[in-house]
Structure 1
């Protein structure tokens, strides 16, 4: 009896171990499947952002090697007005990402092209509102007490920035539209080609033609609009037959709801983009403004390289959350969030270690000045901490965008960044005289608080309720077509697998 009981216990234990192995194998397969889906979105999205930003960096590097004042002027203009406008455009384009992602998950494919056209109308109107601020950037900066020599150079280069601003409207929105339907490879390929074109054109205009700052910005405009034209050809030329059915007057329907979602999205992201720009603006009030602005702008570019990788993961989080909400699968939403957060954490730690290892040497990519290099090295510790803080926050923002929570995140950003971070930074710079490092450190506290609040919000979100909200949004915003063949839906579903 004792022996028989022992054998039974062994069989039970063996069965339990087998079940655990099966569960472990199933979990590994599930994680690997989610990682594949995530990188299918994140890699092309990251390439798009990194390569697009790379074009801006190529212009910065070319200007920095030809004129120290030109470098400071470009850095000041790009890090304030252009960065602010870019943040608004990126934020407003995220409304396209939310709606297209949810429409794709809900199999409302015909609405995606209409959402794209609505976003063009809304974003073009918004971009036009920014043009006067760019035109009068020099006088505005002088009114704020910035260095006169630097701002006079701003007066010379601002016309080159306006075409680039309008190109952002189309590249951003078409990228969101394409990645929502898993047509991601084309995004990465076109972005890489645009960067190589920009490098070649900038070298020709600056080194061969001797056009200096103007040549660098001309190369930036040609490459950015070449990307727009290529994306137009892809979208309108028959490669998106199920989601692009041509230009439609339906694009003018429900513009107000689209505008509201776009404004809250733009407000959310522009608060983040402008946050770092405040430090560049404050650098202009220091004793050696050229060195301070140049050094911090270089740190900001390094920070933005890593941020663009995280923004690729933001796009993946947004699309995965939006798709699963559109399908009505709340459990899949929660699992996707856990996987993308884990991947982002690994990437952030690697980037932080690289920043600490190389420090000020990176500055020689942008400037030959040893003084600028020393200033960058002095800021490298704070830069590495910023990168660490940047691990989770973009992904949480992506989850919020996918769920359509932009308004809530906008208020969180406003309170944590500008209610806590900025006042603390000014306190450290003016009371304790810690300089730019003090300002930056205080503002990092705002980033930390914002991250904690977003963690709390996402953790306590009722995703079943979010599924119901998504269903209601799709019912309200969807326009019926006469008929959508079942074969069309099955064809797209095959592409999604």
Structure 2
């Protein structure tokens, strides 16, 4: 009897060990897939975000008014257009990811061209915002001298807005195929060039704002030209078969999905913009805006990590749903959230103790540095929340839930967060801290709601929905060849 019990225990122990080995292998395999997308995506976003930070650092040493003006334009206007274009481009992320998982490779190039058509049209509609920046900011209550300089800077940013079209769409197209290392290399190259040109034009030759902004435009367009050459010249032979008139078909469904995607991400990216605008109406606005913009920049660096995981979550979820594996999709969500949360918690502890010393990178003002130090605990809390919330947004993009999440964002951000922030900031006189606390509460509520939605989702139904979407949007490969004579000739040969 004792021997039988020992034998059963040994068998059970062997089963547990085998299960542990399988789990470790599964975790390691998913982690590698995650970092294939997340690693280059994080580095690319660091480099791209670094362009704005470098521009702000050089402009900040020109003068405090110039720094406040650039902070307003970059944080309000550029974030406004960035939110719209990135949000609308995220529809491409859903479609390309699911089509690639379903092995409908020929459709990725068609989706890319449709997205270009939609985003170019949208960018043309946004042009007046850049042209009339000064009167818009004055109408919103900003100081006249800051608004005048901001109007000059905004005109320089028009080419930057158009660069987003190529940047966002090519990134999402390549990420869906896990071919985004080329993006990272190009972004690193642009960052190095930007540092050198910014120093050359603003420090050595004293060209001021025109010098800094000229360098910024080049830094945004250099990676775009490289990405276009990679895509068009044979870097993606399975998914790019040339320009096709099919891109003009089914445009209305593409517009509708792009609009719901745009609303979802706009509501998130504009949230901090509201914080800056509310701060601009307070006393001693220049110091408050400078301090807050520095905190948002630091927070933005961490957000680049989270946005990298957003991209990875979107790609992994959409690929697995397109492939028809609900279990793999759920497992990838768990690994991505835990990985991002671990990094976020580490940075949370770091910024709690480091406080406002980083302010001197952006400014020489002790008043601004003290204000940054005072806001550092809230900055640390923002970093912790941002390590989870964008990942859940990436899950939503991968699954195609943009419309649902848009409603969640409206309720949590604009019905809960902003009103509470206004009451704390203006009624209870907690000023910037009060506004920020209210908005953090809105982010917390939104994160909890998205966690509940993700937890309670029937992922088998999401697999069916993904299959229906791929089937509805795809065209037979033979039809594409009919609309692309060069490709048909190549196949015949």
TM class by smaller structure: over 0.9
Deviation at 1:483, TM superposition (A): 8.9
> Aligned runs of 1:96-495 on 2, under 5 Å?
96-482=92-478
Query: Residue 62 in 1 paired to residue 78 in 2?
Result: no
1:492 aligned partner: none
Deviation at 1:156, TM superposition (A): 2.0
1:495 aligned partner: none
| Paired positions, count | 481
Deviation at 1:91, TM superposition (A): 1.1
- Work out whether residues 82 and 161 of structure 2, in 8 Å CA contact, stay in contact via their aligned partners in 1: yes
Separation of aligned partners in 2, 1:314 and 1:154? 31
Separation of aligned partners in 2, 1:189 and 1:226? 11
Q: TM-score, normalised by structure 2?
A: 0.96
- Work out whether residues 186 and 222 of structure 2, in 8 Å CA contact, stay in contact via their aligned partners in 1: no
Separation of aligned partners in 2, 1:215 and 1:281? 27
Separation of aligned partners in 2, 1:483 and 1:271? 38
Deviation at 1:290, TM superposition (A): 1.2
Separation of aligned partners in 2, 1:50 and 1:269? 19
Deviation at 1:111, TM superposition (A): 0.3
Deviation at 1:155, TM superposition (A): 2.3
Deviation at 1:193, TM superposition (A): 0.9
1:82 aligned partner: 78
Deviation at 1:282, TM superposition (A): 1.5
Separation of aligned partners in 2, 1:83 and 1:185? 25
Secondary structure in structure 1 of the residue aligned to 2:364: coil
Separation of aligned partners in 1, 2:479 and 2:7? 58
Deviation per residue, 1:269-312 (Å, 9 max, x gap) = 11111111111111211221111111100000111111110010
Separation of aligned partners in 1, 2:71 and 2:107? 40
Deviation at 1:79, TM superposition (A): 1.1
Separation of aligned partners in 2, 1:355 and 1:190? 30
Query: Residue 29 in 1 paired to residue 25 in 2?
Result: yes
Separation of aligned partners in 2, 1:144 and 1:11? 78
Q: TM-score, normalised by structure 1?
A: 0.95
Query: Residue 17 in 1 paired to residue 13 in 2?
Result: yes
Separation of aligned partners in 2, 1:34 and 1:341? 12
- Work out whether residues 73 and 153 of structure 2, in 8 Å CA contact, stay in contact via their aligned partners in 1: no
Deviation at 1:216, TM superposition (A): 1.0
RMSD between aligned residues: 1.2
Deviation at 1:212, TM superposition (A): 1.1
Deviation at 1:446, TM superposition (A): 0.5
Separation of aligned partners in 2, 1:32 and 1:101? 22
Separation of aligned partners in 1, 2:196 and 2:123? 28
Gaps of 5+ in 2: 482-493
Deviation at 1:412, TM superposition (A): 0.2
- Work out whether residues 320 and 328 of structure 2, in 8 Å CA contact, stay in contact via their aligned partners in 1: yes
Separation of aligned partners in 1, 2:140 and 2:315? 41
Deviation per residue, 1:17-70 (Å, 9 max, x gap) = 001000000000000000000000001111111110100111000000111110
Separation of aligned partners in 2, 1:453 and 1:62? 40
Structure 1 runs of 4+ with >6 Å offset? none
Deviation per residue, 1:358-417 (Å, 9 max, x gap) = 211111111111111001001001111111111211111100100000000011000100
Separation of aligned partners in 2, 1:452 and 1:155? 39
Separation of aligned partners in 2, 1:95 and 1:294? 35
Separation of aligned partners in 1, 2:177 and 2:202? 39
Deviation at 1:93, TM superposition (A): 1.4
Deviation at 1:198, TM superposition (A): 1.0
